[in-house]
Chains A and B, each alone.
Chain A
């Protein structure tokens, strides 16, 4: 791939890396970087923290993870006052986003705490979250219609740990249906949300390392935006990835089609 060495680096914005970095979120950024580099794309990760400007046009991918309540509260002011407009602009322009757990909730319209307090969130996606008392914790298995439609392996193995219950409006599509675990709210069988190039999930930590098809869906969208003539991504040796996935499906006794 001689021509790729002359390419400009693919740029990934890691939003609030020192505040939203719970549950191994770092693994997802490592997966994006690794899978691009193995295919010959240079990559640059830019940490965009509180007080830093965020220009969505300067990036190919943006990552928003989850944080502890205390740390999430710290960034709310900066997020709503200085980044909300840019994030919504990026969503409309087709920038690829991965938003996990707290990041997923932040992209929605609002969050009603369990005491009944209503917090306004980014409003970039048609979804909202209600605080719950009991945390939904455990290994998960999902089947993703979005991945199936893209011709990829539709199965996602993950781990969820959240107290918020998220509900989807008609403006977004679920990322997947829940086969094991609770998913968005433990009621309607949906997991995550997709809108344009924004991908949200409650599956945190190593969701991208363990689910290479999901990682590649995000990357192919980002690469196609930047290099419309790049063609499909080259396949990689995912032997370790496959074993880590299989172990979760086996443990959950999931029969896959």
Chain B
């Protein structure tokens, strides 16, 4: 006879599934409401659904979605049945929705669950999900109005790790993410760039996490990659970058379609093709390969399967718009913005650029972070896209920032309606060129929905 707890779980799943069916029927994404309804009936739902299936969680400030997608591609290529929150809904309600939707695939012996998890939500879901691997991509300042500060985020992650026995897969080059491995050395697997593949320490402007978490002394860097990531060491207490076991040994080539690099693990070194451009995506590839290794997959297979990744919506997504292209590059914090601008200024097909800044809860209601991004590089002579658009609910703030960065005022076009501005600027781009669109999260969702309807893209939950 089924126990009372099992009956409650079944009722909750049935309710969630019904809500899901109804919302899909009326054409909604339905990425959180079914889970919310089900969790209200059975708060132990996540634990019940994930009990007999291996789970991996991916958390951290930047790169969660892309790393999740890379890990999914690797596991699929290894013949696993992959369940994942493709929509990017990464709070408990979104995770529950994903598990309810895929409940019939979970008993499959080949099943594996890969979940992108919000940093604050990780604290509460890590216990119930009991992940085998927990990836921390990096920790940058992000939406401070939501979490308070990085020390708080670190505490959330630490509490989550204490609630489960997962192998911690952490970025060794990030002093904040790497600090989570202290006292957890027996279950930490680090990834990072080899110092020889990094930049000289003075080539990078870093303003975050400059001082030792343990003793407060200023870190000394032998080399850096971007932001506060690099080969750091504290001259006072001796805490330093832990030696990573999965590394990037060198970058062979970078292009708008991706990068080629040499990845190494133990005495194996292999050429990898990372199918998304941008240096930060090399870190995401390292994170995904390391997570696959932590789940028991061979390193060489993980590297071989990386090119099968299909990129997350809005993250470097390329949209063919008749004889022109639109490239969506999500930005949500200064470090990510700097990387996106680097990418934009090194591209050779730029027909124009639009910056869409919203100040919704999911974007961060405080938009002053745009002043911490190094947009001045954008206006370095001959690198300015012919026309630059400022859009979103804070279009005027964005326009002011661009004017400060040195973009001539008569080249800045301001329109709070991102879709209208994108369409207008796309029409003005030379045929064959690409309009680069850098939106914050809610600006991206709204814009992509409109573009999806016009250019036949998949719904974001598909």
Chain A positions near chain B (C-beta within 8 angstroms) = 17-19, 21-27, 30-31, 34, 50, 68-71, 73-74, 135, 137-139, 159, 161, 204-206, 209-210, 237, 239-241, 243-244, 246-247
Contacts and interface: CB of A to CB of B under 8 A. Distances in A.
A257 B411 CA distance: 33
A243 B371 contact: no
Given A137-B145, A210-B400, A243-B399, A21 B368 contact: no
A246 B403 CA distance: 17
B210 interface: yes
22 contacts: A18-B211, A21-B207, A27-B368, A27-B401, A69-B149, A70-B149, A135-B145, A135-B148, A137-B365, A139-B365, A161-B144, A161-B145, A161-B366, A206-B368, A206-B371, A206-B397, A209-B371, A209-B404, A237-B409, A240-B400, A243-B414, A247-B396
Interface string B393-430: 01111011101100001001010000000000000000
B149 A68 contact: yes
A30 B404 contact: yes
A206 B400 contact: yes
Contacts of A159: 366-368
Given A161-B144, A210-B397, A68 B369 contact: no
Contacts of B365: 137-139
Contacts of A137: 145, 365-366
B210 A244 contact: no
Contacts of B409: 237, 239-240
B403 A240 contact: yes
Interface string B327-349: 00000000000000000000000
B376 to A, nearest CB: 9
Given A205-B368, A206-B400, A243-B399, A22 B151 contact: no
Nearest to B209: A71
A69 B400 CA distance: 30
Nearest to A50: B218
A209 B375 CA distance: 15
B41 interface: no
Given A21-B372, A159-B366, 15 more contacts: A19-B210, A24-B371, A26-B207, A34-B404, A68-B150, A70-B149, A138-B365, A159-B367, A161-B145, A206-B370, A210-B400, A239-B409, A240-B412, A244-B396, A246-B396
A18 B409 CA distance: 31
Interface of B: 141, 144-145, 148-151, 207, 210-211, 213, 216, 218, 365-372, 394-397, 399-401, 403-404, 409, 412, 414
A247 B213 CA distance: 40
Given A21-B372, A244-B396, A69 B404 contact: no
Contacts of B404: 27, 30-31, 34, 209
A151 to B, nearest CB: 24
B108 to A, nearest CB: 45
B405 to A, nearest CB: 9
A163 to B, nearest CB: 8
A138 to B, nearest CB: 7
Closest 6 CB pairs of A and B: A205-B368, A27-B371, A24-B368, A24-B371, A68-B149, A247-B396
B149 A243 contact: no
Contacts of A34: 404
- Chain A CB count within 10 A is highest, among B150, B218, B412, for B218
Given A159-B366, A210-B400, A205 B371 contact: yes
A24 B396 contact: no
Contacts of A27: 368, 371-372, 401, 404
A241 B404 CA distance: 10
Contact of B399 (A25, A26, A244): A244
A239 B366 CA distance: 22
Given A50-B218, A161-B366, A210-B397, A24 B210 contact: no
A22 B144 contact: yes
Contacts of A247: 394-397
B396 A240 contact: yes
A19 B211 contact: yes
A51 B403 CA distance: 35
Given A24-B372, A30-B404, A69 B399 contact: no
Contacts of B414: 243
A26 B366 contact: no
Contacts of A138: 365
Contacts of A246: 396
Contact of B371 (A26, A68, A74, A239): A26
Contacts of A139: 365
Contacts of B210: 18-19
B400 A243 contact: yes
B112 to A, nearest CB: 37
Contacts of B211: 18-19, 71, 74
A68 B148 CA distance: 8
A216 to B, nearest CB: 16
A74 B216 contact: yes
